[in-house]
Amino acid sequence: MSEAHADTATRLLIGGHWSPSSTGQTFLTRDPSTGRPLREVAEASPDDVDAAVAAARAAMDDPAWTSLPRSQVSLLLWRLADLVEANADEIARLETSDNGQPFEVSRNVTIPGTVGHLRYFAGWATKIEGRTAPMSNPDVFHYTRREPVGVCALILPWNFPLMITAWKLAPALACGNTVILKPAEQTPLTAVRLAGLCEEAGFPPGVVNLVTGGPAVGKRLVGHDGVDKVSFTGSTEVGREILRASAGNLKRVTLELGGKTPMIIARDADIDAAVTGTVQGALFNSGQVCAAYSRFYVDKARSDEFVEKVAAQAAALRIGPLISEEHRSSVDGFVRRGVDEGAQLVTGGKPAAGDGYFYEPTVFAGVRDEMSLARDEIFGPVIPVLTYDDPDELVGRANDSDYGLAASVWTRDLVTAHRLAASVKAGAVFVNMLHVPDPAAPWGGFKASGIGREMGAYALDAYTEIKGVFMNLATEE
């Protein structure tokens, strides 16, 4: 950290003002494709976090936000989406330099995904409705209201920085909350840009605040009594810490955590389609995807053919870098452990040559259920192939995991597809397709993959409190 570059570093957005850290502290991000320094970023101090919370609380009491007609909230979100689209190339380049995702991914996945979430929830802003229900006492009229939870701390990971920011920000604002964005320390730049666009779109001051920095900034938010809700996407380990630390004022907490997605390739599957699904499902964004397909169950009779084809496609693929040297060492550690545990390394298995944090697409055969390759979230370009003899073992083996974020089934048979989809413990099941979330479909995990759901109508539960109003309609006799 240094104070020297505080004047050229990115700034914090607190209550409509862009300011350096109150201590002048900054930190440096790196371009994962070269390893070279990228940008000096403000490191928010505890005072800055407190100021951001105070600003978000004040905005929760400000009629400029709370009395804004719902149609105007919708318009602001739509305008924000237009601004992201109007600056798409520049923002995509920023995401690529910050996160390392290839430009085709940032331009063709991140940008449309971000815009899609903003527009989807722009639509919801005018449709946040209550209900009536007949009471047992016919003289009581009852209705419910959905009200904003209040100040929401949105704590973000580095793997899809902008899109994940949008999938939290859009429903939070659509439901009338105020927010504090806390991007990951590795990838803060597109959140800084998005916060600027929120201002340009016309959100009142204090509705969207931004504090950059490391885990200490996240911790301060999670422990803060002025924060009503935490929405966190990141590792399961930190998710557990957040749940404990938010107990003070019993914050509302949604957690989108790690995964170890099984891909089940049934006996009747179109093997070539499954091979392509494996390579893309495992290696997209260099495997740094929470729902990445990361353990593959193949019929023993077809496994040699499958492994050979997967290895040939994987070895020919050019993928982007991993996020950091530290993460590359962690991925390499899992690969070394796989070899030590007796799995057969078919291709890859080491850092790729050149600058930057690249790693070779890696395929293992002969992986067994108890091996770390089959159990741990690696979050890198590693494809562990397991085999089965009897399809009846598949559900038990797929469910033998702490995680339950997603699962994938490849089959031509509808009965197999529906039976497996119903029996696998996961928040999303993808049949004969890649793990592509959609703003309209719920997203979240069973078991250690998280708590709650984001996206779709389900996100409204995460960002509202329900109030019941009882009206006495009895007339005096």
Which residue in the list 290, 360, 377, 454 is annotated as catalytic?
290
Closer Cβ to ligand NAD, 186 or 303, answer by number: 186
Does the footprint of ligand NAD cover residue 337 (CB under 6 A)? no
Q: Using the rule CB under 6 A, give the single segment among 198-206, 228-236, 362-370, 465-473 that binds ligand NAD.
A: 228-236
Among 31, 43, 95, 185, binds ligand NAD (CB under 6 A): 185
Closer Cβ to ligand NAD, 70 or 219, answer by number: 219
Does the footprint of ligand NAD cover residue 154 (CB under 6 A)? no
First-to-final CA distance of the chain: 76
Tokens 């659509």 belong to which residue? Answer: 174
Closer Cβ to ligand NAD, 53 or 68, answer by number: 53
Burial class of 394 by CB neighbour count within 10 A (0 to 12, 13 to 18, 19+): buried
Cβ–Cβ under 8 Å, residues 274 and 433? no
Which residue in the list 40, 43, 185, 256 is annotated as catalytic?
256
Beta strands in 203-337 (DSSP E): 208-210, 229-233, 252-256, 261-265, 293-299
Respond yes or no: is residue 152 known to be catalytic: no
Could you tell me which residues come within 8 angstroms of residue 201 by beta carbon, excluding any fewer than 6 positions away?
A: 76, 77, 79, 80, 83
Phi first, then psi: give them for residue 201, nearest 5 degrees. -65, -25
Which string of b and e fits 218-231 if b means at least 16 CB within 10 Å? bbbbbbbebbbbbb
Closer Cβ to ligand NAD, 73 or 222, answer by number: 222
Does the footprint of ligand NAD cover residue 27 (CB under 6 A)? no
Q: What is the DSSP letter of 300?
A: G
Among 20, 32, 150, 234, binds ligand NAD (CB under 6 A): 234
Residues 430-449 that bind ligand NAD (CB under 6 A): 445, 449
Annotate 28-96 with DSSP letters as a single string. EEE-TTT--EEEEEE---HHHHHHHHHHHHHHHT-HHHHTS-HHHHHHHHHHHHHHHHHTHHHHHHHHH
Rounded to the nearest whole angstrom, what is the least distance from the CB of residue 186 to ligand NAD in the complex? 7
Does the footprint of ligand NAD cover residue 218 (CB under 6 A)? yes
Give how far the C-alpha of residue 124 lies from the chain's centroid of Cα atoms, to the nearest Å: 21
Rounded to the nearest whole angstrom, what is the least distance from the CB of residue 452 to ligand NAD in the complex? 11
Among 159, 177, 286, 464, binds ligand NAD (CB under 6 A): 159
Does the footprint of ligand NAD cover residue 241 (CB under 6 A)? yes
Respond yes or no: is residue 3 known to be catalytic: no
Q: Among residues 81, 77, 80, 57, which one has the least CA distance to residue 68?
A: 77
Does the footprint of ligand NAD cover residue 366 (CB under 6 A)? no
Q: What is the DSSP letter of 405?
A: S
Among 12, 207, 263, 290, binds ligand NAD (CB under 6 A): 290
Rounded to the nearest whole angstrom, what is the least distance from the CB of residue 477 to ligand NAD in the complex? 59
Among 20, 161, 226, 259, binds ligand NAD (CB under 6 A): 259
Does the footprint of ligand NAD cover residue 31 (CB under 6 A)? no
Does the footprint of ligand NAD cover residue 191 (CB under 6 A)? no
Classify the phi-psi angles of 35: left when phi > 0, otherwise alpha if psi is within -120 to 50, otherwise beta: left
Among 98, 228, 256, 360, binds ligand NAD (CB under 6 A): 256
Which string of b and e fits 150-173 if b means at least 16 CB within 10 Å? bbbbbbbbbbbbbbbbbbbbbbbb
Rounded to the nearest whole angstrom, what is the least distance from the CB of residue 288 to ligand NAD in the complex? 7
Does the footprint of ligand NAD cover residue 408 (CB under 6 A)? no
Size of interface with ligand NAD, in residues (CB under 6 A): 31
Show the tokens assigned to 177.
Answer: 């909350």
Does the footprint of ligand NAD cover residue 242 (CB under 6 A)? yes
Rounded to the nearest whole angstrom, what is the least distance from the CB of residue 379 to ligand NAD in the complex? 6
Beta strands in 173-272 (DSSP E): 178-182, 208-210, 229-233, 252-256, 261-265
Tokens 């929470």 belong to which residue? Answer: 290
Instruction: Kindly list the residues in this chain that would bind ligand NAD in the complex (CB under 6 A).
Output: 155-159, 164, 182, 184-185, 214-215, 218-219, 222, 233-235, 238, 241-242, 256-259, 290, 377, 379, 405, 445, 449-450
* Residues that are catalytic: 256, 290
